[in-house]
Structures are given as structure tokens and as C-alpha cells.
Amino acid sequence: MAEIYQYRAAVDEAMNTLITGISDTLWQQVEQLVMLGLNHEQQHQELMLTDIKHVFAQNPIRPHYRELAVPAGQIPPDISWIAVEENLYEIGHNGKGFGYDNEFPRHKVLLQAFALASRPVTNAEYIEFIEDGSYQNPALWLSDGWASVQANAWHAPLYWEQRDNAWWHMTLGGMRPVDPGAPVCHVSQYEAAAYASWAGKRLPTEFEWEVSATGLPVQGNLRNTDYLQPVAGTDSSALQQCYGDVWEWTASAYAAYPGYRVPDGCVGEYNGKFMSSQVVLRGGSCITPADHIRSSYRNFFYPKDRWQFSGIRLARDI
């Protein structure tokens, strides 16, 4: 650990020397690359916690990262439906501040009228899905999803297990009882889509999510709250927990926006080459740095992935 911090200090010193010692002209050439590097490091701050949890969950003695003060027992408000009118909407980064290349160019999309659930799906609601035999019902699943259920013997979210007929799960604070009111976490996009089918709803597109979230303050159970675990929401705002708690699966394939061009040089490998066979998630999670997330931010994972802090928000047509 001492050597790691020593290495980090050396990098900081070199970067400070670079930033403070170069001309304005040269700084204009490297500023965007430095900003990309800083934002990429924030992604790794989140990834390290995700990976620590995953590695510790494989250990039979279930070590924990540290003690967590996670509130439990709160009852979230009932789901309401936030309607959005059919219209032509602008999507993508507005050009103010940093944005990844996959958030550009800003463009227009036509959305049919829809409604978005006021909060994410909770553990208690997902347990109803489990107890209804949904992991044994192929009619609810996409074909690839059903194949993943069969191949991997899925029967509950990742890190869940039953003890004396009660659900427990692994957290960064060790094994804990599942909080019924907290958003369900560590589900694949296949599970999210199956739950939506079971509930008679669907997953939102990433554009529906962005239109609904644009203008909301970027606040919630993000990394700065220090819970490191999804918690039950209790606020009474119309659209709750859009930021933080869990990354929310969408129904949108991760693809380039109209007019997107892969940047020149090595930066071109940052996002563009991953635009295949992955699905977009929105909103950040309980381990996302608060100053890292925004309404246009596009995260992406393969639909079978479950180790990310990923959850579900439903949508329906009007």
C-alpha cells in the first residue's frame, strides 16, 4: 500500500509540473486529454469498489471492505407514473463542461407519449417476481436471457442467498439481510426485461430516461453519501432516485448517435470500438462520484452482466 501511494504521489507531482509549467498554447492541445484522464480515473474509483465486492463475494469467509452505516426498514412511496407527451426532443450533451464522445453529437429524437415509473423496483417487489416462479417460466424471458438462466442456474440477483427462508446478500459491509425497501441491485438486463414483462410493463429507452431526468438536480445516494449500497427512497418528488442507488437498465442498444465520428488517435479507442452487443444504463449508482454523472451520461454493459450496481425502472406506453 505504501508503494502504491508513493507511485500516486509521483504521478500527481508530474502532472502538476506539466499543467503549471506549459504554455497556454500547449495547454490548449492537452487540456481535453487531461480532462478525459481525470474522468476516466473517476470511472476506476467506481470500478475498484465494484471489483472488490465481486472478489470478496467469491471468498467463502465473506470478508468485508469496511463497516457500512446503511439505513434499513424504510418504506418507499408507492410507484406513480410520470407522463411525458409525444414530441421532438433534443438528446445528448449540451456542450457545457466535460462530456464523453459517446454523448455527442446532440440531436433530435421523436418520442411517442410514455410514462416512467416514479422510482426503481424494490427488493420486495423483485422477491414477488422470484416467488411467482419467474425464473422457471421461459415465456417471460428473451431467448438469450432464458439461455443464461439455464446455463448459469440463476434463481435470484447476484450475491443473494437464502438463510432460514430469508434472503441475504453480500454487500461491501459483508453479508446482510436484504432490505425490502431498497432498489433491487445486481440484476442483468435479461432479468430486468423479464421482470418488466412479468409486471406488464417494459424498460424505458435511454432517450425516454434522459428526457425525464433532464433538469433534475444531480443528487441522491451517490458515492458522497458513503452508504456504498442502495437504500430505500423516501422523498416525495415526482421522479425519485434518478441519480444514485443503482444504474438503471434501458432497452437501448449501445450505438453511435447520428453524425458520430470516432476521434482521431488513441482516444478513438475509448468508446467507439465498444458500440456492439451492449446495452445502455443511465443514472449512476451508490458508488458513482457525485460530480461524475449527468443526464446525458451513457454507461454500457453486456446484457448478461450482473456485477455492476444495476437495477430496474419501469416504463409504459400511453
Phi-psi category of residue 58: left, alpha or beta, with phi > 0 → left and psi -120 to 50 → alpha: alpha
Alpha helices of 67-139 — where are they, by DSSP H? 123-131
Q: What is the mean pLDDT of residues 199-209?
A: 98
pLDDT score of 129 more than 70: yes
- Partners of residue 89 on adjacent β-strands: 109
In this prediction the pTM is: 0.95
- Model pLDDT, residue 247: 98
183-198 average pLDDT score: 98
Which long-range contacts link 269-275 to residues 24+ away (Cβ below 8 Å)? 270/36, 270/40, 270/100, 270/101, 271/100, 271/101, 271/102, 272/101, 272/102, 274/300, 275/102
Which residues touch 24 (CB under 8 Å, ≥6 apart)?
none
CATH of the structural domain 81-317, one choice from 3.40.1160.10, 3.40.50.720, 3.90.1580.10, 3.60.21.10: 3.90.1580.10
In DSSP terms, which residues pair with 183 in a beta bridge? Answer: 122
What are the pLDDT digits (tens) for 98-128? 999 999 999 999 999 999 999 999 999 999 9
Sort 54 into a burial class: Cβ within 10 Å, 0-12 / 13-18 / 19+: middle
pLDDT in tens, 24-71: 888 888 888 999 999 999 999 999 999 999 999 999 999 999 999 877
Measure the CA–CA gap between 93 and 102, rounded to whole angstroms. Answer: 9
Residue 248, C-beta contacts closer than 8 angstroms, at least 6 positions apart: 120, 204, 209, 281, 282, 283, 310, 311, 312, 313
Mean pLDDT of 71-90: 90
pLDDT tens digit string along 3-25?
A: 999 999 999 999 899 888 888 88
Instruction: Tell me: pLDDT of 161 over 90.
Output: yes
Domain boundaries, the chain: 81-317
pLDDT in tens, 226-281: 999 999 987 767 899 999 999 999 999 999 999 999 988 888 888 888 999 999 99
What would the grid cell of residue 47 be?
470500478
pLDDT band, residue 72 (cuts 50/70/90): low
For the beta carbon of residue 296, count every other beta carbon within 10 angstroms.
20
116: which 3 cell numbers?
416512467
